[in-house]
Amino acid sequence: MPDRAIERVPVLIVGAGYAGLSAAAMLAWRGIRPVVVERHPSTSVQPKAFGVNPRALEMLRLLPGFESELAEIWSGIGDGMRIGITGNLADPNRHMIVDGNDDLAHFAEITPVPDLGAPQSQVERLLRAKAEAHGADLRFSTELIALEQDAGGVDVRLRDVRTGERRSLRADYVVAADGWRSPLRAMLGVPTSGKGELGRTFSILFDADLSGLVNDREVTLWYLRNDVFTGALVTGTGVGVHVLGVNYDPAKGESEEDFTEERCRELVRIATGRPDLPVKVLDRNAFGVAHVLADRYREGRVFFAGDAAHTMPPTGGQGGSIALIDGCDIAWRLWLVLTGQAGEGFLDTYDAERRPAATLMADIQLANLAMRMPPAARVDYPEPVEDMTPAIIGYLYRSSAVLTEPGDDGAPVEDPLHPTGRPGSRAPHVNLSRDGRALSTIDLFGDGFVLLTGDDAWTDAARTVAWNLSLRLTPYRIADGGAVPGPDGVEVLRDPRGEWTARYGVTTAGAVLVRPDGHIAWRSPGAVPDPSATLTEVLTRILSRS
């Protein structure tokens, strides 16, 4: 590739969907200014995924204003997603399988974040605004057409899809968030596994008055089974705006060309049970229902995220949130390496941790497909999982960035209602107090590493080690009683209920090291002879620093 006038950037992100935009926003917030290229002219106009699960929101709320602005969008839509099964909306035998927030009530005991949601199109617009506000460079109508990498970086060729103009760019790293067909994955020869494409769906965004059939302020997903088609209808995504997905089978000679505008209106009338319903078709597109898993998430300096890493059936509604978590996750890891806080080998932990977690969720949603939308594709499905909470917020990571303890059973999940505080798990939510104001332990995480302890010896050591390793590491001393002065520069937080040690599996003389993603990297149940030497050894190992 030509050397002249090559633009150089720390991170190039290919794709401006959930994974790409969350990576861009979180990198930019951390001071790394990425370039994002997206072949479409803008973010999605289709609602697509709905909702942001609690774990994704815990990571995204670090963006100033994100949580409050998402809450404002949510307040204009409704209160929880309902899920039902019917032949059409007028069918008197239609019934609900998930009603409102009943299945999410227990999250209030696990996390301080509220239950919020919005159509993907609106969340993407919010993420785009946050990314650009913090300095990310988003380039729409731009596609990647060639890529070569070496030990020091990645050379790419970009093309403006409107003008055909081409230009070169060199990046330290590339995040491939370019969708389930992922041209980058194919270009790099990364193999995939899973059940493959399970079917095709045609999505119809339409405007119609469904008064008397649905409440515009209640977002409801209806699984449709009737004599004409199977599919899904999402109502209440906005006043008068709804989405119908109709399954079709190319093996039977069916194709997306069959879905003319008039045919789309007819299908909407069948789905609603109102043969004379006035329907305005706003947008149409086809997509595959698939279970496709990349066999590795890292190929040299390229990292796969979102659907490019794991495409899962939509039955369960977690695919979008898993993509958001991917983007947030690769962002903090790249930030540590690009700022010299971690060694290059640390980036191997992305595949080691995210691939098993995403595969677990993909398999759960595959099982849901067979249960909720029969007859599904003829494949062997895993057993359905009734409670998805452990897979959403109770996943345990295993990699060199987690120092496990003797006797750890290696289980992939734990019950988040009864946390153990063991390394690899998400750090538990505990209610604390700062100057008389309530806060959660979750509020402390995200801006670097955090050390929680009840002992000044550990806080002194943390400050020394942070200086020596040029590492962003913040110690907090937690006290059960009233206001207790701490060492200069160390914040003391109150634990009014005396819960934190039990939740984290330590004594007040112990310490817990929490990573920027809120997962526990290591803990010491009690005191050690030399806290500084211990912390130095732990962090050197975790961060792949020789």
Closest CA to 81 of 101, 61, 66, 64: 101
Which residue has 């070496």 as its token pair? 150
Helix count and strand count (H, E) for the chain: 12, 23
Q: Is 223 a catalytic residue?
A: yes
Query: Per DSSP, what are the bridge partners of residue 440?
Result: 431
Element housing 112 (H / E):
none
Q: Decide: 520 and 423 in contact? Cβ < 8 Å.
A: yes
- Cβ atoms within 10 Å of 267's Cβ, excluding its own: 22
Q: Decide: 347 and 334 in contact? Cβ < 8 Å.
A: yes
Distance in angstroms between the alpha carbons of the first and the last residue of the chain: 34
DSSP letter string, 185-243: HHHTT--EEEEEEEEEEEEEEEE---TTT--TTSEEEEEEE-SS-EEEEEEEEETTEEE
Alpha carbons 505 and 414: distance in angstroms, whole number: 14
The sheet carrying 219-225 orders its strands as 95-98, 81-86, 219-225, 230-238, 241-248, 192-207, 280-294, 310-311
Strands (E), 413-464: 431-434, 437-440, 449-453
Of these residues, 173, 223, 476, 504, which one is catalytic? 223
Closest CA to 314 of 391, 232, 378: 232
> Maximum CA pair distance of the chain?
80
Question: Which residues are within 8 A (CB) of 444 and not within 5 positions of it... i.e. 6 or more apart?
Answer: 450, 452, 474, 476, 514
Catalytic residues, by residue number, are: 223
